[in-house]
Structures are given as C-alpha cells and as structure tokens.
Structure 1
Amino acid sequence: MRVAMGGTFDILHAGHEALLDAAFDLGGEVFIGLTTDAMALQGRQKVSPYELRKQRLEAWLKRRGYKGWTIGPLEDPFGPAVSEPFDAIVVSEDREGVAKALNEERTRLGLPPLAIHVVPMVLAEDDAPIASRRIRAKEIDRKGKLLRPLRVNVGSTNPVKIRATAKVLGTLFTKPRVKGVDVASKVSEQPFEVEAIEGAINRAREALKEADYGVGIEAGLF
C-alpha cells in the first residue's frame, strides 16, 4: 500500500506524531509531503526553514524506527497524491475537506479515489488543539501541557457569576485565571427566551478578547 500525507511539521508535537503513527500503521510505503517555505508562510507569520523542518522530521522517523518513507516538497494542498498511484491518504480532521476535494480531482482525471483516514486532533490541557504556533508562543509544550494559567474572561462584573465560573472551571483545569470584564449584552435589560441566549453569546464573544476562553451568562425569562 502507498500512503500519502502532508503537513508543515514546524515544531514537531504530539498532534504530528499521532498523524505520522496513523500513516505507518497502514503499512507499506509512506510519502510525507512537507510544505515549502512559500506555502508554509501562507497564513503564518513565522515558520522554521524547510531544510530544518525536514532534518527534524527525518531524525524523528529514524528514532521511531520507521522504514519505507519518503519526504518531498509540498507546493500546493494536493501535491503528488492528486495524480500518482497512491492507495490512501491520512489527514487530520480539520483537513478532511481537502482530502475529499483531492479525490474529486482524481476522479475527474480518471483515477481511483484514495481511502481517506481521518485522525482526530490531539488536544492540549485546555481542550484546544496542539499547534506549533501555540508552542512558539509558549502557551503549551509539545505534549500539550499548559505553560501558563488558563485565561478566562467572564462577560460580567457580577461577583456571583465570576465565582461560579471559577468554581466550575477549577474542576476542569489547573488554577485557571478567571476575571470579570465589563461588556455589553446588546439585548434588553430583561431579555425573554431567545434574546437571553443571544445576550449570553454576545457577552462571551466580547469577553474572549485577550483571553483563552470567554464566558457569557445572561439571566432571562423563558
């Protein structure tokens, strides 16, 4: 079996490892498309150079003892998998749409579609996906461990709402930093039914600024 996969692999982390392990679990040959610097910088402010990323990836594969792999430049979302005789493609769940689009293009070219194997995102301690940009920003380490307290803003200065949020999140995360911020609910003072839900959402969105999570609590009548 010939398996295709791709990525930037900027700072190799647990999410990358899960993706790579899944590809090798299928057996056979594995082609790893490594995004070129030009492609990697699309939507990113900083990324390690291609050759450095390749060296790190090669070293990890050798330490893992994997055989039958090839690393090549990936200059577009599809790479060689769109036209070459691969059997399967391994993607993270946020890239499943790309794999489906690739299969549509293969069908248009008269080629059989690839079996798509979707790997769930690996989450950090704060339940957000592990990502190289977060590691670079020193939010988390490569395994997803938080390197600073979780920042939670409650869209209210009501001490009851703040304490309640801190109590609940304290059972889920290690010492979250919870504070209240004064924001507008953008609904009437006494909201009814769906308006109360809208008020809570508005508060959460406004509170999210400069925080990891925003919490909105709106009292209303249903």
Structure 2
Amino acid sequence: MSTVTLTDVSHRYPSTVTPSVTGVTLHVPDGEFFVLLGPSGSGKSTILRMIHGMERPSGGTVAIDGQDVGSTRPSDRDVMLAFENYALYPHMTVAENMGFALRLTGLDRDEIDRRVLGAAAQLGLTEVLDARNDELDGLQRQKVALARALVRKPRVFVMDEPLAHLPQDVRDSTRDQIRAMQQDLGITTLYATSSLEDARAVADHIAVLDDGRLLGVFAPEQFSQLTTLVPEPEPEPS
C-alpha cells in the first residue's frame, strides 16, 4: 500500500477570493484509516480532490510514497475516489458493475470473481449480485458503488462523505462494514466526514479542519479535545 504526505498545501478556486485550503501539512501512514473531520467548507473535500488529482495545489506538495504527484495525471496515481453520490451502469448487474473496471485491466476472470464475491459478502450484497440498478434501493446502490471502488485495491482510497444521505441505522452498519473491509485489504484510506461519531468509530487518526486550516491531528480516544473543537450538533426537539 502507500503513504500520503501533504506539505504546506494550499488551494484557491479561481472563482473565489479566499483560499479553500491554507498551509495544511499532514502525514498518513501506510494502511491507515485517516479521517478528515470538519464542517461544510472546512476544506476536507478539496484536500481529497488534490490527493486524487482532480485539483492541483496552489502551493505546497502532495506526495504518495514520498513521490511528488503534483504533475501526475489522476489515471496514473492509482487513487480511487468515492463521493456521497453514486453512478452505476444501469444496463449492468451488480456483479458486472463491481467487476467492470477489473475486466478492463485484463485481470484473470477467476481473480475478478474472487474479489467481487468477497466484497459482496462483506457489504451484504451477495443476494443481489444478479440485480440491476432499478431493482436496488438507495442503500444497496451506495454499497455497490463502494464495493466497485474497493475491489480494484488501489494504492490509496479517498472517500468524501460517502454515507451522508443514508438513514442513521443503516449508516452505522455500513460504516462499520467499510472499516472492516479496509482493515482486511490494508488500503491506505482517507475519509471525509462532518460527524464526530463516524470519525471516532472508524479512524486510526482524525485531522480536524476548519475554514481551510488544520487545527490538529488526534487519536479517537482524545474525545474531550475533539468535542471541544468539533461538537456534535444538538438533537432536534421531538
């Protein structure tokens, strides 16, 4: 797998006056589940896009395994990006969706089947492998999109609020399944969320961001410090 290192990274979108990310430096060890935690507009999504290659830093460097990838095309980085929105191929079954990118690489059919079946079992998709997009509910579509990315076993996996629109009960179980799969595969993973609860449940370390700046990197057990920086929202009155 791979390490990810950001050194004094900044970014400003052309349409804005103020930077979306300012002077962020952090290191993600090989095989770690590393969470970027912060509210909307904190810069966490922009950081993931710079690691993937969809955006280039205005300053600083992004390195994978110690190599500056600032001029490397996204297709050559072997970094998979999963958004909260999913887009499945409607004419394909779940199994075909999950294995499509692997077939393009020329991977052996038996290995493709092994990866697809393994991911399906871990994410509770075994019973719907022959189903098509219009036969799935929202949760199942989200899981297929995640499994489709994970079966490729990239060097780095970045996930941008992938569970944001799921109901809380299924969100918790899916989150735990993602963590279990990441541990099994050992893929270095960066996961952006605005939920402190989600962050504490899955992270090896948590980077807290606000207004494009890094406030600190914490272990999940440093709960008192985390709640001071990013308190969970108050529950709405019944």
The structure that is strand-richer by fraction is 2
Greater relative contact order (CA < 8 Å, ≥ 6 in sequence): 2
Q: Could you say which structure has the larger radius of gyration?
A: 1
**Per the shorter chain, which TM-score range?**
under 0.3
Relative to the length of structure 1, the TM-score reads 0.26
